[in-house]
Structure 1
C-alpha cells in the first residue's frame, strides 16, 4: 500500500492538522497528493469531534506547485490515470484535450471547490515558497497565516497559460494587482500579500505552527453550528457577488490555454520560454 502524502493528526481536542508530507520533492503536487489531501479533509469533515482544520506542510517550502518536473514525460498520463471522481465529470481516459480537461476538472477544480466549501473553518499555514498550484491549496482555506519568509507566485504565464486552474486572483488581490501578479509572474512577499489582504497574519518562521494552532484552538472554542453558519454566510456572500461563476469561467479559460498550446506545440503548455520543458515529448496535435 502506498504511503499517504498527507499526514493527519489531532494535535489538540477539536483541531485536525493535515500536513503535506512530500518534503523531499518540495511538496510538489501530484495526483496522489491531491487525493490524499482530499481524503484527509473528508476524515476531518466527518469526525464530529473536529471543529477546525489546519492545512500545513513539511520542510522548507509549503509547495513548489504542480509536479511537472517529476512527471514531465507522463504528466497527462499521470493526471488522467490517477483521477478519482469527486465531482460530476467523467472521461478521464479519453484522448488528448478531452481527457486532460476531465482529469484536471476533477483533480484540481472540483477538489478545490470541495475544500473551499467544507463546512468547518480551515486555516492554512504557509512557509517558504507557495508556487502556482500551491496557491489553490492556500486560497481555498478560510484563513492564511504566513511565515515572514513566505513567497507567493503564479508563474504559469511563462509557459503560455493565463493562470492556475483556480483563478481566484482578483478576489484575493484586487483586479489591478491580480493583473500585475499574473502578467509579470513575479514572486511576492508575505508582507505584500498581507498588505493586499490575501494573508491574515505574518509571523516569524519558528512561530508559524504554534500561531496557527493557537488560532485554531481559539476558534474551536466556539459553537460548531455557529461556525458552520458563519462560514456558509460569508461564502454565499462571495457567490452572490459572482465568485463561483467567475471561478468556473476562469477554469474554462485555463483550458482554452491548454487547447491552444496543444494546437501549436502538441502539448498542454508552451515550452519555448522554459528550457526545462524543451525536451518534453510532444503529443499528436489536435
Structure 2
C-alpha cells in the first residue's frame, strides 16, 4: 500500500480476509480474525501476515497500531489441517519460507509503535508476533509459549530469535525445548512481556500506554524504535535463513507426522527418534 487518499488505503485493508480493522483517531486496532476459536494460522493468514506490516507502515492515517485477536484467543499457533498438508506435501512448506521471513522482517521494519493487546492464548508463530511487538500488555488469564517442538518442528519462525533477547538464553532455551506455556502473570514477572492485568483492566491499560506514546513527537518515537530494533534486525538477518532451513528439515521427519497425529488424537506421541 502506498500513501494516498483514505479510500484507496481502506480498500487495501478491506482486502484482508483474516483481519479486522478499527480506527480511533490516529490509533488503528488490527484484530486477527481467523476461522475457528483460537485464530490458528492457516495458509491465508500466513500469507496476509507477510504483507500486513508493510501495509500498516504505509497507512498515512495512523500513528500507533494495537494488535489483538478477535474472540477469546490472540493466535494459538498453526492450524492442524494445514500442518497435515505440509507433511503430505513438503513442497508446500518450502513455498512459504519467503512469507515466514517477511513476517519477522516486516514487523521489525515497521516504524510505527505497535502495542500487543494479548487478550488470550498466544502460541508458536502467534507468540513470536506478540513478542516482536514493542509493548505487550496481557489479560492475566492469557497463556503464551512456543510449542513448536511439541508438533515436531524447529522454532524457526522467529521464536529462537526473540525469546533469548527478552529473558536470557537459559530461560529461553528451557521454554523453547520443552514447549511449555507460561501464564501472562509469570511472563510479566520474568520480563517476557510488559504487563499482565485483570481482564476488566486490559483496555484501559492499553489506552493508557498508547496515550503516553502518542503524547510524544511522532518522529522521535518512530526513529527511537528504529534504532532500538537494529540489533533485532541484525539477528533476524543472521538467523532466519538457517532457522527456516532447519524447520523445513524437521517437517520431513517421521516424528513430526506422529507428533501432529498425537495432538489431534489427544494422546501421547509414539516417537521413534526419526
| TM-score bracket, shorter-length normalisation | 0.7 to 0.9
Does the CA contact (< 8 Å) of 1:123 and 1:144 recur in 2? yes
In structure 2, what is the equivalent of residue 148 of structure 1?
140
Residue aligning to 1:100:
93
Contiguous gaps of at least 5 residues in structure 2: 1-13, 266-274
Say which of 26, 29, 42 aligns to 1:30.
42
TM-score (norm 2): 0.80
The 3 A distance-change label for structure 1 pair 202 and 261 is closer
Cα distance between partner residues in 1 of 2:262 and 2:58: 45
CA distance in 2, matches of 1:178, 1:203: 23
3-state SS of the aligned residue for 1:213?
A: helix
Counterparts in 2 of 1:249-264, with a 5 A limit?
251-262=241-252, 264=253
Shift, 1:179, TM fit: 1.2
Show the 5 A alignment for 1:60-209: 60-67=72-79, 69-75=80-86, 96=90, 100-103=93-96, 105-166=97-158, 167=160, 168-209=162-203
* TM-score (normalised: structure 1): 0.77
From the two aligned structures, give the one with the greater helix fraction: 2
User: How many angstroms does 1:261 deviate by?
Assistant: 4.8
**1:19 Cα deviation (Å)?**
0.4
Distance 1:5 1:35, change over 3 A: same
Following superposition, which runs of at least 4 residues in structure 1 exceed 6 angstroms of deviation? Answer: none
Give the 3 Å change call, closer, same or farther, for CA 159–48 of structure 1 in structure 2: closer
| 13-22 or 28-37: bigger deviation | 28-37
- For the residues of structure 1 that align with 2:51 and 2:260, how far apart are their CA atoms? 36
Stretches of structure 1 lacking an aligned partner (at least 5 in a row): 78-94, 279-286
Q: State how far apart, in whole Å, the 1-side matches of 2:163 and 2:243 are.
A: 14
Matched, 1:8 2:1: no
Q: 1:43 to 1:261 in 2, by over 3 A?
A: closer
- Is 1:271 the counterpart of 2:258 in the alignment? yes
- Shift in CA distance, 21/223, structure 1 to aligned 2, threshold 3 Å: same
Q: Distance in 2 between matches of 1:124 and 1:234?
A: 17
The DSSP-based 3-state class of the residue aligned with 1:74 is helix
Deviation (angstroms), 1:142: 0.8
Question: Which residue pairs with 1:48 in the alignment?
Answer: 60
